[in-house]
Amino acid sequence: MTLPAPGIIWASLPLPALMIDGTDRVIEINPAAELFLNLSARALKGQVLGERLAIAAPLEEIFARVRKNRSALFVNDVDLTTGERAPVQCNLQAAPLGDDPQTVLLLISPREIADRLGRASQVKSAARSAIGMAEMLAHEIKNPLAGIAGAAQLLSMNLSGDDLELTDLIVDETRRVVKLLEQVEQFGNVRPPEMKPVNIHDVLDRARKSAAVGFGAHMLIVEDYDPSLPPTLGDADQLTQVFLNLLKNAAEAAKGQGTIRLRSFYDYSLRLRGPDGHGQRLPLQIEVIDDGPGIPPDIAGALFEPFVSGRENGTGLGLALVSKIISEHNGWINVDSVPGRTVFRVSLPVAPKEV
């Protein structure tokens, strides 16, 4: 068996990896690190790592100890950020590179994917219970509300002035609550997806055009697509609803002003493990990026749960519906947010060739 060339191994490493010289400057960076840090190799090479990244660990001391002891060093639970995204908790591994006394290999193991996938499974289970309870309550509450509205309308026929305003208020408020309950029922009655090969860029184009003539009419929507992406397996209508909801969420966060960027790319490293223990790769990545104020920290961890909303009068069902649909497409959704930059990323599988 012929071993692959070192360059192929370096490019295929699924973990972000960097080579650091004796002055703590970056010599080399692999593709996984470029993607994770959202920085190109050209931008990082020759730079002191600690000056380009905010890492809550004494990097100089770590590298010095590795060079002195000629042994690997592990540092767990370290917050890392480039300043353009929320801090990510990582485990760091630093080790001497071969016989070179100065060069250090640094591996970054982001904990966010495993942690968020675990939370996503819990949220999905909790969402089912919440949806079932909400549907039952919606059905039971709508009937007496109709009676209240009807009684108020009958009373209004013999009233005038301030008393008539009160009955009109009763009717208007009952109609508003009924409308909300209908949204809850609709949320629970999404049909199973009709899975077919879908060009994700066709879906994004439909969502973008709808947004551009409606809630996003005064925003700049920028397309940054990888045209070589293969089809995904999904329901085009439901996926269109997903990206419409994400675009609307971005537009409302930015108060209808600013820029939304739609980005697609391929990342073969993400794998979602199912209940049967088998993993499925989710290489198709679609990001919806806005330059709004960011997500309030107090709801960031529960953003995809039903009835959690950061907006006044929000129902908290839009992102829960997005999460539900993506889950039924065997995909994954996550969010990174700092003031001025919020990124929702949807990860989807590739459609099998035989479909």
Q: Which residue has the higher pLDDT, 132 or 208?
A: 208
Q: Give the whole-angstrom CA distance, residue 174 versus residue 180.
A: 10
| Surface-to-core class of residue 354, CB atoms within 10 Å of its CB (0-12 exposed, 13-18 middle, 19+ buried) | exposed
Q: How many CB atoms lie within 10 A of CB 93?
A: 17
Would the pLDDT of 186 be above 80? no
Q: Which residue has the higher pLDDT, 318 or 164?
A: 164
Would the pLDDT of 204 be above 90? yes
**What counts of helices (H) and strands (E) characterise the chain?**
10, 15
Backbone dihedral angles phi then psi of residue 177, each to the nearest 5 degrees: -65, -40
3-state DSSP helix/strand/coil % of the chain, to nearest 5: 45, 25, 35
Distance set, CA 156 to CA 159, 160, 170, 299 (Å): 5, 7, 10, 43
pLDDT grade for 264, boundaries at 50, 70 and 90: very high
For the CA atoms of 288, 293, 294, 299, the dihedral, rounded to the nearest 10 degrees, stands at -130
First CA to last CA across the chain, in angstroms?
35
What are the tokens at 265?
């790319």
Of the listed ranges 86-95, 122-131, 315-324, the least confidently predicted one is 122-131
On whether the CB atoms of residues 266 and 284 are closer than 8 A, the answer is yes
pTM of this structure: 0.58
Which CATH superfamily groups domain 6-111? PAS domain (3.30.450.20)
Based on C-alpha coordinates, what's the Rg of the chain? 25
Half-sphere exposure of 205 (CA within 13 A, CB side): 7
Domain ranges for the chain, please list them. Answer: 6-111, 115-189, 196-348
On whether the CB atoms of residues 104 and 95 are closer than 8 A, the answer is yes
Which H helix or E strand runs over 224?
A: strand 220-224
Q: For the residues 206-221, what does the mean pLDDT come to?
A: 88
What's the mean per-residue pLDDT of the chain?
A: 79
Would the pLDDT of 244 be above 70? yes
Q: Give the whole-angstrom CA distance, residue 112 versus residue 123.
A: 16
Q: Give the whole-angstrom CA distance, residue 92 versus residue 132.
A: 43
What are the tokens at 38?
């959202």
What pLDDT, in 10s, does the model give residues 113-133? 545 554 555 555 555 555 566
Would the pLDDT of 90 be above 50? yes
What are the tokens at 242?
């997903």
What are the tokens at 4?
């692959």
Would the pLDDT of 322 be above 50? yes
Half-sphere exposure of 14 (CA within 13 A, CB side): 9
Check: CATH 3.40.50.300 for 196-348? Answer: no
Q: Give the whole-angstrom CA distance, residue 203 versus residue 236.
A: 6
The pLDDT value recorded for residue 348 is 93
Buried b / exposed e across 31-47, counting CB within 10 Å, b at 16+? bbbbebbebeeeebeee
Q: Give the whole-angstrom CA distance, residue 278 versus residue 237.
A: 28
Which H helix or E strand runs over 261?
A: strand 259-266
Would the pLDDT of 213 be above 50? yes
Q: Give the whole-angstrom CA distance, residue 106 versus residue 132.
A: 48
Q: Give the whole-angstrom CA distance, residue 262 versus residue 205.
A: 10
Would the pLDDT of 1 be above 50? no
The pLDDT value recorded for residue 286 is 95
Q: Where are the alpha helices (DSSP H) in the chain?
A: 6-12, 31-37, 41-44, 49-52, 59-69, 112-156, 161-188, 200-212, 236-253, 318-328
Q: Give the whole-angstrom CA distance, residue 147 versus residue 162.
A: 22
Would the pLDDT of 85 be above 80? no
Would the pLDDT of 91 be above 50? yes
Distance set, CA 82 to CA 39, 52, 199, 307 (Å): 9, 7, 32, 32
Would the pLDDT of 261 be above 60? yes
